[in-house]
Amino acid sequence: AQKITQTQPGMFVQEKEAVTLDCTYDTSDPSYGLFWYKQPSSGEMIFLIYQGSYDQQNATEGRYSLNFQKARKSANLVISASQLGDSAMYFCAMREPSNYQLIWGAGTKLIIKP
Amino acid sequence: GAVVSQHPSRVICKSGTSVKIECRSLDFQATTMFWYRQFPKKSLMLMATSNEGSKATYEQGVEKDKFLINHASLTLSTLTVTSAHPEDSSFYICSARDRNRAEHYGYTFGSGTRLTVV
Question: How many contacts does A have with B, using Cβ atoms within 8 A?
Answer: 50
- Three-class SS string for B36-62? EEECCCCCEEEEEEEECCCCCEECCCC
pLDDT of residue B102: 66
Give how far A46 is from chain B: nearest CA, Å: 8
Residue B16 has a pLDDT of 97
Nearest to residue B17, comparing CAs of B91, B80, B103? B80
**Does A100 touch chain B if contact means CB atoms closer than 8 Å?**
yes
pLDDT at B103 (0 to 100): 61
Is the pLDDT assigned to residue B101 strictly greater than 80?
no
Q: How far apart are CA A90 and CA A75, in angstroms?
A: 13
CB contact under 8 A, B111 and A44: yes
Secondary element (H or E) of residue B67: strand B67-73
Contact A43 B91 (CB under 8 A): yes
Average pLDDT of the residues in A23-51:
95
Nearest by CB to B111, from A43, A99, A109: name it: A43
* A104 contacts on B by Cβ (under 8 Å): 43-44
Indicate if the pLDDT at residue B98 is higher than 90. Answer: no
Query: What is the average per-residue pLDDT within A83-93?
Result: 98
> CA triplet B6, B74, B5: central angle to 5 degrees?
15
Rounded to the nearest 5 percent, the helix, strand and coil shares of chain A are: 5, 50, 45
Q: What's the first-to-final CA gap in chain B, in angstroms?
A: 37
Instruction: Please give the average per-residue pLDDT across A24-39, as a whole number.
Output: 95
Which residues of chain A does B42 touch, with a Cβ-Cβ cutoff of 8 Å?
106-107
Tell me the C-alpha distance between A56 and A80, whole Å.
22
Average pLDDT, chain B: 93
The continuous run of DSSP H or E covering B18 comes out as none
Residue A104 pLDDT > 70: yes
Residues of B in contact with A95 (CB under 8 A): 105
> What type of residue sits at position A9?
P
pLDDT (average), residues A71-96: 97
Cβ of residue A43 closer than 8 Å to a chain B Cβ: yes
> Could you tell me which residues come within 8 angstroms of residue B104 by beta carbon, excluding any fewer than 6 positions away?
A47, A50, B1, B2
* CA distance readout (Å), B54 to B50, B79, B112: 7, 14, 23
Note the pLDDT of residue A22.
98
**What confidence category does residue B52 fall into, taking pLDDT thresholds of 50, 70 and 90?**
confident
Show which residues on chain B lie within 8 Å of chain A, measured between beta carbons: 32, 34, 38, 41-44, 46, 49, 91, 93, 95, 97, 99, 104-107, 109, 111-112, 114
Alpha-carbon gap, residue A68 to A24, rounded angstroms: 10
Pick from A45, A44, A41, A19: nearest CA to A102: A45
Give the number of other Cβ atoms within 10 Å of residue B116's Cβ: 13
pLDDT confidence of B56, banded at 50, 70, 90?
very high
Q: What is the pLDDT of residue B46?
A: 97
Q: How far is B96 from chain A (nearest CA, A)?
A: 11
pLDDT at B72: 81
Question: CA B49 to CA B36: how far, in whole Å?
Answer: 9
- Whether the per-residue pLDDT at A73 is higher than 90: the answer is yes
Distance of CA B21 to the CA centre of its chain: 7
